[in-house]
Amino acid sequence: MEQDRYKIIKLLGKGRTGGVYEAEDTLLGRRVALRRFFDLNGEDTYSDWEDSFIAIAQNLCALQHPSIATVFDAGVDDDGAYIVSQLLDGQSIDERLEEGSVNEWDVYQTTENILDALAMAHDSGFIHGAFNPTSIIRVPRASGGYRNYIVDLGLSRLAPLIQGDSSYLALMAEPTMMAPEQFDGSPATVQSDLYMVGQFAYICLVGGHPFSGKNMEEALEAHENEELMPLHEYPEGVSREFSDWIHSLIKINPENRPATIAAALESMPKLEKPIDLEKMQAVAARTSLVSVTAAAGTSLNALAETVPNEAPAAALSVTTVLAAKAAPTQNFSTSPIESVQATPPLGAMNKPSLSNEGEKSSKTLVVLVALVGVAVLIIAAILMFGKSKPTEVDKETDEQPSEENNSLAVPVIKVPTVSSSDSDDGANDSEDKE
């Protein structure tokens, strides 16, 4: 590495294959993520690994997708191999799961983003092969929601070059999420990536996985012999359509999974974004208050022409207060205040004769009663729309991304599992295994 170009600022995280640092690219004046690979000097390390490493890194640099962290640079120096990529200010899904399960809509969007990115990666010759919750960092959007990024694409091909072929299963694989066909060391395929994406979605919706914490042998046995409880029967708020689709990705037999990413996306159900009840209620309350105030202003404008000198001043005072509190930013083509102010000033009005005093006093009383009525309507509207409060939505935090931990800890949860022999789909499971 050009020692003068990348200045290490701090360690972001250290995992099984190496460490990730925040660094400054002094040549271009930007912050980047710099990944250093551990050099284990394995017996099965390739002798010409450096050339292969650079060739793979060049292909990664050419891969551009909005849901894949961009690779800027790579090389080998006295400290070993390194790769430089986009620095993301967000939160890994692994960190998010520490707060609990994720709602269906967020999981749906994340899964869709991931599959769209993997489709391009597969077309470019990159199978992920080691997908897990640390693979994704989500960054908040200004318009709401999150942009999800795959941050470790190509790692399953780069690390074995340096650390030996055996490092793939020993260091990178997460038994909870691995496809059964991967346990014997077979190369990852499109179908194994789909299996891991399905397990990823399951973990996010439930908040953990019943197979977590098992070693390779135990996990393989569980994957082959235990059927996960259907998602629509366990966590709340998961639709039957989305549940069935996720389970179609985690079939034991890879031939029973979608043939391609495009096929998986095509079969993905179309979910509708949930309505934000809190925003709708706020808009409704504001609209009602503005309407009440506008109606009150129209009534006062009509009455002001028939009241004595004191009435316009009173109407102006009360309407000004109500309009300012109820709708401070609302503009009317002809505001209640302007209508009242258009009434001739006190000095320009003729004084009432004594004979009409009683009649005009009655009209003054009518106006005051009308004002009191308007105030009551506004208070009632506020109470009505402020009475119920929708359930709080998960609040996401913007934290610094961290690299995968030494033990890719998927939370352990007690999810009911069904023995394949007892399942209604036992025959199908046997077919999958064959």
DSSP secondary structure, 356-418, as one string? GHHHHHHHHHHHHHHHHHHHHHHHHHHHHHHS--PPPPPPP------PPPSS--PPB----EE
Neighbour-count burial for 296-307, b at 16+ CB within 10 Å, e otherwise? bbebbbebbeeb
pLDDT score, position 367: 67
**Max Cα distance, the chain (Å):** 116
- Whose CA is closest to 9, among 39, 37, 30, 40? 30
Residues in the chain: 434
228, 415 in Cβ contact below 8 A?
Answer: yes
12, 402 in Cβ contact below 8 A?
Answer: yes
293, 378 in Cβ contact below 8 A?
Answer: yes
338, 298 in Cβ contact below 8 A?
Answer: no
pLDDT score, position 363: 63
pLDDT score, position 395: 40
Mean pLDDT by 10 residues, the chain (434 residues): 82 87 96 88 62 93 95 91 95 94 95 96 94 93 92 89 66 80 88 96 92 86 83 86 95 94 96 69 51 50 48 41 40 36 37 46 66 75 58 42 45 50 43 43
Q: d(Cα 271, Cα 343) in Å, to the nearest integer?
A: 57
The conformational region for residue 244 under phi > 0 = left, psi -120 to 50 = alpha, else beta, is alpha
Contact partners, residue 319, CB within 8 Å, separation at least 6:
293, 296, 297, 300, 336, 337, 340
DSSP 232: G
Return the CATH number of the domain spanning residue range 91-275+409-433: 1.10.510.10
How are strands ordered across the β-sheet holding 136-140? Answer: 91-92, 136-140, 146-150
pTM higher than 0.85 for the full model? no
Q: d(Cα 282, Cα 209) in Å, to the nearest integer?
A: 39
Tokens, residue 164 = 């030996």
- Fold (topology level) of 6-86: Phosphorylase Kinase; domain 1 (3.30.200)
Contact partners, residue 139, CB within 8 Å, separation at least 6:
88, 89, 90, 146, 147, 149, 398
Q: d(Cα 116, Cα 265) in Å, to the nearest integer?
A: 8
pLDDT score, position 234: 78
Neighbour-count burial for 56-70, b at 16+ CB within 10 Å, e otherwise? bbeebbebebebbbb
Q: d(Cα 346, Cα 361) in Å, to the nearest integer?
A: 16
Q: State the pairing for strand pair 226-228/146-150.
A: unpaired
Neighbour-count burial for 373-383, b at 16+ CB within 10 Å, e otherwise? ebeebbeebee
Q: How many CA atoms lie within 13 A of 308 on its CB side?
A: 17
Tokens, residue 385 = 């729309």
The conformational region for residue 235 under phi > 0 = left, psi -120 to 50 = alpha, else beta, is beta
Q: d(Cα 100, Cα 108) in Å, to the nearest integer?
A: 16
Query: How far, in Å, are 177, 180, 182, 207, 299 from residue 414 at the CA level?
Result: 17, 22, 25, 10, 64
Residue 280, judged by CB atoms within 10 A of its CB (0-12, 13-18, 19+), counts as: exposed
How many angstroms from the chain centroid is the CA of residue 39?
36
Q: How many CA atoms lie within 13 A of 8 on its CB side?
A: 12
| CB atoms closer than 10 angstroms to residue 186 | 11
pLDDT score, position 370: 74
pLDDT score, position 267: 96
